[in-house]
Amino acid sequence: MTTAQHTPKLTARGAATRTRIVAATANLVREHGAAGTSLDDVMAASRTSKSQLYHYFTNKEDLLRAVAWQQTDRIVEAQRPELDQLDSLAGLRRWRDKFVAARDEAQNVGGCPLGSLASELADGDPQTRTVLQKCFTAWTSPLLMGLTAMRDQGRLRPDADPDALAEAIMTALQGGLLLSNTYRSSRPLARALDMAIDHVASFATSREAAVA
């Protein structure tokens, strides 16, 4: 979906610099958290100077908001093929498997790039919180699409609420990532997602059961 951030006038070089800053910051934040990332770190990692940081962003918070968008884009992009096929229990399970495998590959180190950001910044200024809400909503959107399609195709009962289901899956995902990061094991994440998918399955019709 490429969450566009309105940046009025930028030359080619300017745009490149801005991108470099955001990308570098995103990496640092993913590893050390927002509070653990200083602007000096950002300068070093992006090969820029203070004045450039403050040329493109009004302050650190502003930069972190840009990072939130970028993390969301990255996440969605990385899950692209799977996220577009969440319109069946089989599709959900493929997504789950991919996700869990990816966490295991990363040795379950580091939580959700968006989740940790939210945990750190959600109690801060309202503007940032609003951005975080939109990021979560954007990420949940493919889930919502898929579930809505399932219901419309009669694979889920009419009383299934795609909105509630999608949100519940996202909570399971976030909680799973938090516990998995703490325990350094994908088990909590796997169990959380299994529960969530079972929950969806409990609304499945015989038509979907046949497919699954």
Partner DNA sequence: CAAAAACTGGACCATCAAGTCCAGTTTTCT
Partner DNA sequence: AGAAAACTGGACTTGATGGTCCAGTTTTTG
Question: Where along the sequence are the contacts to a second copy (CB under 8 A)?
Answer: 31-33, 35-36, 109-111, 115-116, 118-120, 122-123, 129, 132-133, 136, 164, 167-168, 170-176, 178-179, 181-184, 187-189, 191-192, 194-196, 198-199, 202
> If binding is defined by CB under 7 A, does position 10 make contact with DNA?
yes
**DSSP alpha helices (H): ranges in the chain?**
12-32, 39-46, 50-56, 60-78, 80-83, 89-105, 113-121, 126-152, 162-183, 187-201, 206-211
Q: Which does 9 bind (CB under 5 to 8 A by kind): a second copy, DNA, none?
A: DNA
3 state DSSP class of 204: strand
Contact positions with DNA (CB under 7 A) in 41-80: 41, 48-52, 54-55, 59-61
Shortest reach from residue 65's CB to DNA, in Å: 12
Of the candidates 206, 78, 79, the residue with the CA atom closest to the CA atom of residue 146: 79
**Which range in 14-22, 96-104, 161-169, 196-204 contacts DNA by CB under 7 A?**
14-22
| Tokens matching residue 12 | 């080619």
Q: Of 14 and 110, which CB lies nearer to DNA in the complex structure?
A: 14
> Min. distance of Cβ 69 from a second copy in angstroms?
15
In the Cβ-directed half-sphere of 92, how many Cα atoms lie within 13 Å? 29
Neighbouring C-beta atoms of residue 171, cutoff 10 Å: 11
| Contact residue for DNA among 1, 5, 31, 38 (CB under 7 A) | 38
Is the separation of the CB atoms in 65 and 127 below 8 Å?
Answer: yes
